[in-house]
Structures are given as C-alpha cells and as structure tokens.
C-alpha cells in the first residue's frame, strides 16, 4: 500500500501533514516493517520529532517538531493545553442539543476488548466539547474539541452518550457507511513557538469522508 503525504505547513521549526487513514503514526509493535508516518517522513526530512499521535484509522492534521528545542516547547504547550485540536466526526444518531460538554473520566485499556472506558472511580479527567455541524436522517456531523488528550477520548466519549462514530465497530458503530472510524483531525491551533504568530492549520477531508457525506446528503 502506498500513501500520499500532503504537507500542510513547513518551516525550519515545524512540519504539519495531512495523515491518511490506515497509516499509523509510529511503527507497529508486531510488524516493524509495516509503513508508518514517522518513517515515511524521515525519508524526506533529516529528522522530525513526534509531539502527538493520531489513531491509525483517523485522518487529518498532525504536527511534528523539526528541532529538539521546538520539540520540548511543543510538549510543554500540549501539556499546558495551549494547543487546540478540532476534530470532525460522523456519528450515528441525532442529538437533541446543538452544543454539549462531555465530562466523563476515562480509563485506557479498560475491558477485554482493550477499549477506553468510563470509570468514575479510577479514570482520569477527560473533557470534550462538541457541537452539531450538520444533521442528516440517521447521522450527524459533529465537531469535537477535546480539552484533554486521553486515548480514544472522542470515540469513547461519543459512544458513552449513545452517538458512536460511523465505522467504529470497536465502540458500537456500524461499518455500513464508511469502512473505518469516521474521525478526521480537521484543524490544530496554537502559537508558533519561535515567531509567536497564531497558527491555524487545517486539513481537507479525505475522499472516503467526502463520499460518506455525499451519500448522507443524497448527492
């Protein structure tokens, strides 16, 4: 399988790409020869540092540092919640609200299927702010802004309020509309660590996400 990498932003300090769905960010622990984003980038650039990750099935914008100094600064910015991530997701269901805050503690690897689960006693604090972007007959296009960075946070939170992502069979979604989890990292917003300019880096939808929306719109 080959992957086309679209560069969304690049300078001597930062690199942002539009990650294709199906490509893991880091090497697979069971198949180290399988393609992964970091290794593909290392073939084109001298060196890049990983700051955050996207699930294998999730498409969209992901940012890397190009120097050790920027890597340290970006890690601090992420930990301080100075980096804002915007996801778009197609969910199954029709919420009664237009905006909602999901505040449910999460515990990773919490059941036999290795899912992230709601755990009010032992889970870590997790907040996701969501709003409706577009409504369809049995699906909804949702914008999700996670304020914390727990594993599978958006997937687990939306499933917990009975809005599983289309294609996300692990969390109760159906694969009839799209053949992978319908989650796209749409944009990332933060202050450039060197120039201090405000950055808003957006990633266009991939073809399968576009096709799913066209089908829902009846086009």
Hey, which residues are catalytic here?
55
Nearest Cα to 26, choosing from 37, 42, 18, 40?
Answer: 37
Distances (CA, A) of 82 to 24, 62, 70, 76, 148: 25, 16, 14, 9, 11
Segments in 16-103 forming alpha helices (H): 37-44, 68-79
For residue 154, give both structure tokens.
């958006």
3-state DSSP call for residue 89? strand
**Cα gap 61→188, rounded to integer Å:** 7
Distances (CA, A) of 182 to 4, 14, 41, 133: 19, 27, 24, 14
Residues 6+ apart with CB under 8 A from 32: none
**Cα gap 141→92, rounded to integer Å:** 9
């Amino acid at each position: 399988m080959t992957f086309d990498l679209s560069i969304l932003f690049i300078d001597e300090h930062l690199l942002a790409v539009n990650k294709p769905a199906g490509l893991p960010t880091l090497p697979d622990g069971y198949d180290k020869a399988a393609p992964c984003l970091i290794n593909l980038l290392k073939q084109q650039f001298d060196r890049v540092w990983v700051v955050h990750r996207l699930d294998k099935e999730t498409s969209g914008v992901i940012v890397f540092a190009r120097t050790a100094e920027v890597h340290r600064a970006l890690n601090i910015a992420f930990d301080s919640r100075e980096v804002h991530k915007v996801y778009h997701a197609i969910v199954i269901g029709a919420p009664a609200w237009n905006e909602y805050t999901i505040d449910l503690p999460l515990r990773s690897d919490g059941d036999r299927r290795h899912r992230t689960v709601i755990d009010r006693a032992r889970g870590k604090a997790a907040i996701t702010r969501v709003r409706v972007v577009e409504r369809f007959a049995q699906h909804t296009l949702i914008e999700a802004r996670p304020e914390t960075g727990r594993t599978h946070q958006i997937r687990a939170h939306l499933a917990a309020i009975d809005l599983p992502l289309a294609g996300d069979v692990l969390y109760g979604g159906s694969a009839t509309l799209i053949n992978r989890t319908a989650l796209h990292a749409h944009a990332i917003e933060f202050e450039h660590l060197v120039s201090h300019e405000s950055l808003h880096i957006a990633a266009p939808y991939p073809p399968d996400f576009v096709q799913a929306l066209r089908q829902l719109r009846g086009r």
